[in-house]
Structure 1
Amino acid sequence: MRLNRVLRMSAAVVAAGLALSACGGGGSDAGSGSGGAKNLVAKAKNDKKLTIGIKFDQPGLGQKQADGTYAGFDVDVAKYIAKELGVEESAISWKEAQSAQREDLIKKGEVDFIVATYSITDKRKNEVSFAGPYFIAHQDLLVQAENTDITGPESLTGNKKLCSVKGSTPAQNVKDKYAKEVQLQEVGKYTDCVTSLLNKTVDAMTTDDVILAGYAAQQPGKLKLVGKGFTDEKYGVGLKKDDTESVTAINNAIKKMQQDGAWKAALEKNVGPSGYKIPEPPAIS
């Protein structure tokens, strides 16, 4: 009799424990992992850490240094935003965000947000949300220093070979407007285009002028920026679709960065040495 009573009491305790677990009584997992929080603001507040996507191969914007650290304007923007959300630089994990992978990284929760020369487009807004823009660039061309034939997109004739990156807005622009005039070669990283250009296996590479300026500065006397921008590329901070509270918080952080001088200082430090003319900060939409 006593044994049966003990067994019945034990079963009741186990059942109660299972019920509490099913109802979440054992503690909430909100804010755990890169995509666990209800939104980015809540995750930053709860976890005090973030995973941020950047480029690893864009000098002056997002580049992984030889010592394993990260530097560039996009990196500084990301750090500023994280700080405003309550996350210290030491609590940031950096993840490479190649152009063709950015939407998937956000949707799968592998990053909390992306600052990686990420142009705001209507197509992308169907999949992710954007804060910003925090910068406006212009698509341009990079050529060999001695080249005099290529003076702008209208000179991409005679089956010239042009290099760009898969999944990038510049590559799509060329396909839409100049595909009949050029042989477009799409690669994984812009550094692959730079190598091809230096080896003279392509005639030019295209992406945003601020990106190209960084590569030109790395190869003085070998590469030059044509300097004839032919689009407006609004760089945004990409994050999970419909996270409106976090979009507002990031926009406020960008505005503060512009107003307190940190935005201009970051550009002058990271991009200024290339000779690129520092523009006025864009209006936040």
Structure 2
Amino acid sequence: MNPLRTSRALVAAAAAVVLSFTSAGFANGAAGGALRDHDDGDEITVGIKFDQPGIGLKTPDGTYTGFDVDVATYIAKQLGHDPADIVWKEAKSADRETLLQRGDVDFIAASYSINDKRAEKVDFAGPYLLAHQDVLIRADDDSIKKPSDLNNKKLCSVTGSTSAQNVKDKIAPDAQLQEYGGYSECLTGLENGVIDAVTTDDSILAGYAAQPEFKGKFKLGGFKMSNENYGIGVQKGSELKAEINTALEKMVADGSWEAAVKKNFGPAGYQNEPAPKIGVIVQ
């Protein structure tokens, strides 16, 4: 036997095997639209907030609750995944685009407002909720009935948030801004009378106010000072966008969307907007 011919044959065979595995791997990564590789074919990774009661919260016992969790679980089921298949990953506001671009998650449901700047980097399914900037005040406070009543009031939001500054710049220039490290601190200040109002998205405020320890203590102003169209973030060009839109339409049609709103926001008296139409962004 010619040793050189045998060596060439072995090299050719090895190259064929490598090419076969590479082609299979590419097909598995691109065909499904998820653009991610999983150790378990049934696994799906979803980005949510871990620290927003009513929206996305990781509880002390390691479970996850909130409207975005319910929406994401419904979507995952429509994509063929049981709840046990979902790997929840924290998606902080500043990290959301990076998580999607790197392929660390399949999709993100994390009070993720659709805007042009974000849409340059990722795609959005939805919207699935129309929220508004609002204020939370004490239930017995009748002094704040309209946005301009926030003048000379102590208005709280979290450090780095633009919500309170928007109120001061555009609505109540004499509001006294107070920045705390987190919304929980703002609510404690509101409960104790140190703060007069807390501002951010009404859905987030309703989620906090719906917690058992705050039940009946606070109310939403209902001021609708901005429109926040929450969307499901997916990787740019992902086929999941169309599949998720179909799932969202079904969630509205079968009543699951309304049930999730009432379950997570109802205790705060949240007057939600009707479910938005897919692809319609309210300015």
Give TM-score, length-normalised by structure 2. 0.80
Give 1:252 shift. Answer: 0.7
Structure 2 unpaired stretches of 5+ = none
Moved more, 77-86 or 270-279: 270-279
Q: Which amino acid aligns with 2:221?
A: V
Cα distance between partner residues in 2 of 1:25 and 1:41: 19
Cα distance between partner residues in 2 of 1:143 and 1:179: 16
Deviations 1:95-135 (A, max 9, x none): 11122221122112221111111111112111111111111
Partner of 2:6: 9
Structure 1 residues 81-120: aligned runs within 5 Å? 81-120=75-114
Structure 1 pair 31–228 and aligned structure 2 pair: CA distance change class (3 A): farther
Cα distance between partner residues in 2 of 1:116 and 1:266: 15
Moved more, 170-179 or 202-211: 170-179
For 2:134, what is the secondary structure of its paired residue?
A: strand
Cα distance between partner residues in 2 of 1:200 and 1:238: 38
Partner of 1:238: 233
Structure 1 unpaired stretches of 5+ = none
| Coordinate RMSD, CA, aligned | 3.4
Partner of 1:269: 263
2:119 to 125, 132, 154: 125
Matched residue count: 275
1:220 to 215, 219, 237: 215
Q: Which amino acid aligns with 1:252?
A: T
Contact 1:50 1:91 in 2 (8 A): yes
Deviations 1:52-108 (A, max 9, x none): 011122222222223211122211111111111111111000011122221122112
Structure 1 residues 147-226: aligned runs within 5 Å? 150-158=144-152, 160-164=154-158, 166=160, 170=163, 173-174=166-167, 177=170, 183=177, 185=179, 187=181, 189-195=182-188, 197-198=190-191, 203-218=196-211, 219-220=214-215, 222-226=217-221
- Of all paired residues, the percent bearing the same amino acid is 49
For 1:110, what is the secondary structure of its paired residue?
A: coil
Contact 1:119 1:169 in 2 (8 A): no
Give TM-score, length-normalised by structure 1. 0.79
Cα distance between partner residues in 2 of 1:252 and 1:44: 23
